[in-house]
Amino acid sequence: MDKLHFFLVTHNILSDSGGLTIAAFNQSKLFLDNGHKVTVTTFDYQPNYQSIFQELTDMGRIYPSLEHLNKFEYYRNQNTLPDSKPTAALYEEEANEDVAFFYDSDNNRYCFVDGTLKKVKTYSDARLTAVRYFEFGNQPYLEVNFNKQGFVDRKVWFNQDGHPIQESFYTNDDFCYSTRHFKKKGVSGEFYLFNRKDEKVYAFKGAKAFDRHWLNELAANNAANQTKPIFIAHGQNCGTKVAAINPDHALRFFTVHSNHLEAPYTSGSHVQSKYQPVFENRQSLDGLVVLTEKQKRDILADFPGEDNIYVIPNPLSVPELYNEARNPLKVIMVTRLEKEKRLDEALHVFSLVVKQLPEATLSIFGKGIEEENLRNLIKQLKLENNVFLEGYSSNIPKEFQKASISMLTSDFEGLPLAGIESLMNGTPIVSYNFNYGASDIIKNGITGYIIEDNDKQKMAEKIIYLLESPGVVAEMSKISRENMIEKYTGDVVYSKWTNVLKSHVTIQV
């Protein structure tokens, strides 16, 4: 089998990233398992990517063979000469400075001279990572960031209002390889790239233009092989960037991971503006990938034309069965704590459950900006002994297998990865009938229940019924796992990708 090179294009990656990034990781495993080369790309400035990817590897979320390219690391390496002499003079000066008057707060050290704040030094694991310099008042004029080796990585200059006016990036020997200017109030402006070897300056109108340049460079560098590299955009902001790659150098796909419609997120609603440019120009792509047939129909209804839309769900590995004894009164949710997940709705539903089953519990795994609001609502509903915000878990399959059932209350989805994972672990679901995916993964009355949106009473009734019917849950559990294995495991999803790629490349895939 010929080896293909897949580039999975994302904006950024965190060790606690949510569903979209997890889907990209699962896709990377799919292609690596089938003998291909996979590189994930990121556009953001993030000096800790080495640690982040090591943590992801240790957690089993990615394979060690997954390659990572970051735009800034790429150009820093391109402009690092073999005979360059790195210098850590500024780091050593700041790290070893004897400051008479200072105080420490969290990871910051505030340094004063004659009663005036002059510097704020930031530390991570006892290592100096940044210094902010002050002249008068409490506004900085310069921030310097250091990498793990103690070399200057980045400098940011500020105006008197504290807004950035210039950001510059450096090699270990202090060569500035890129600079960004900012407009009023810190709005991103022009980007400049400096090529040290040919002494050329490349100017870009903004970060997006710089990103497109980089992807085109990657594609051109890899196009010399027998087959074109394959770029797959993950995230709406990456779609137009991948579409701008020279088609002579690469195959270009964009995966739509979420509902593309505005509220109420159903057929006939306006298309979200962030998807509009990609959908209107989808013929500039080799393919638009969606996760359900219903979403494909809705897109074609709004954007008729040649059908280059492919339905390919995200793959999941078959999880190990831990032989955990399910708690018959335990419900689980695995989700980001964000507004669109409507966890406030879930709490109100569960308050109805607890009135009839006081021993029932709901464990919610995940993090997000709604955490404080949810804690307050838990107290308001007097659910402190029944609902628990668990944070992250390193073994979500095991957590699913401890529970009797799971809940989904989202406003919208693309195809709920947590729902597939729940059923794959034999945990039936009670879910609202949102777009898209609830009806794709749940067989109503067989692997769970689909409830009309906002019918809290009906959802509570079905949850109570299942918590009081362990025999029904056991039967649903068996069917749930078998059904997901038939539809969403690697072999099934990979065959869909091979069918698509065969229409674009002349080799066997």
Top-confidence residue, 89 or 201? 201
Top-confidence residue, 466 or 47? 466
Contact 241, 9 (CB under 8 A): yes
pLDDT tops 90 at residue 34: yes
- The per-residue pLDDT for 138 is 81
- pLDDT-derived band of residue 505, with 50, 70 and 90 as boundaries? low
- pLDDT-derived band of residue 375, with 50, 70 and 90 as boundaries? very high
pLDDT tops 90 at residue 227: no
- The per-residue pLDDT for 67 is 97
- The per-residue pLDDT for 306 is 76
CA 22 – CA 421 distance, rounded (Å): 12
Residue 488 to residues 62, 258, 423, 481, Cα–Cα distance (Å)? 18, 17, 11, 10
Pairing state between β 330-334 and 176-182: unpaired
Task: Quick: pLDDT tens for 395-432.
Answer: 899 999 999 999 999 999 999 999 999 999 999 999 99
The answer, yes or no, to whether the previous bond of 64 is cis (omega within 30 of 0) is no
CA 304 – CA 239 distance, rounded (Å): 19
Q: Which of 335, 261, 270, 411 is nearest to 18 (CA)?
A: 335
Task: Quick: pLDDT tens for 145-168.
Answer: 999 999 999 999 999 888 999 999
Rounded to 5 degrees, φ, ψ at 477 are -60, -45
Contact 205, 194 (CB under 8 A): no
Domain 5-78+209-311, classified CATH 3.40.50.2000, yes or no: yes
For residue 338, with 0-12 CB atoms within 10 Å meaning exposed, 13-18 middle and 19 or more buried, which class applies?
middle
CA 362 – CA 346 distance, rounded (Å): 9
Q: Looking at 304-318, 362-376, 465-479, which range is the least confident one?
A: 304-318
What is the domain partition of the chain in residue ranges? Answer: 5-78+209-311, 89-196, 330-488
Task: Quick: pLDDT tens for 102-158.
Answer: 999 999 999 999 889 999 999 998 899 999 999 877 889 999 999 999 999 999 999
Residue 371 belongs to what H/E stretch? helix 371-380
Contact 76, 191 (CB under 8 A): no
- The per-residue pLDDT for 317 is 86
Break the chain down into helix, strand, coil percent, rounded to 5: 35, 25, 40
Residue range 16-21: average pLDDT?
80
Residue range 205-210: average pLDDT?
95
pLDDT tops 80 at residue 2: no
Contact 446, 427 (CB under 8 A): no
Residue that has been written with the tokens 């089998």 in this structure: 1
Q: What's this model's pTM, rounded to 2 decimal places?
A: 0.89
Contact 285, 308 (CB under 8 A): yes
- The per-residue pLDDT for 235 is 86
- The per-residue pLDDT for 506 is 52
Contact 288, 298 (CB under 8 A): no
What's the CATH architecture for 330-488? 3-Layer(aba) Sandwich (3.40)
String of DSSP letters for 170-201: E-TTS-EEEEEEE-GGG-EEEEEEEETTTTEE
pLDDT tops 80 at residue 250: yes
- pLDDT-derived band of residue 87, with 50, 70 and 90 as boundaries? confident
- The per-residue pLDDT for 160 is 87
Cα angle value 134/174/166 (rounded, 5°): 45
Is 89-196 in the same CATH topology as 5-78+209-311?
A: no
Q: Which of 215, 286, 258 is nearest to 39 (CA)?
A: 215
pLDDT tops 70 at residue 497: yes
Q: Tokens for 374?
A: 């949810």
Q: Which of 328, 410, 332, 401 is nearest to 370 (CA)?
A: 410
User: What SS3 class is residue 33?
Assistant: helix
pLDDT tops 60 at residue 471: yes
Looking at domain 89-196, which of 3.40.50, 1.10.3470, 2.20.110, 2.40.50 is its CATH number?
Answer: 2.20.110
Mean pLDDT of the chain: 92
- The per-residue pLDDT for 225 is 65
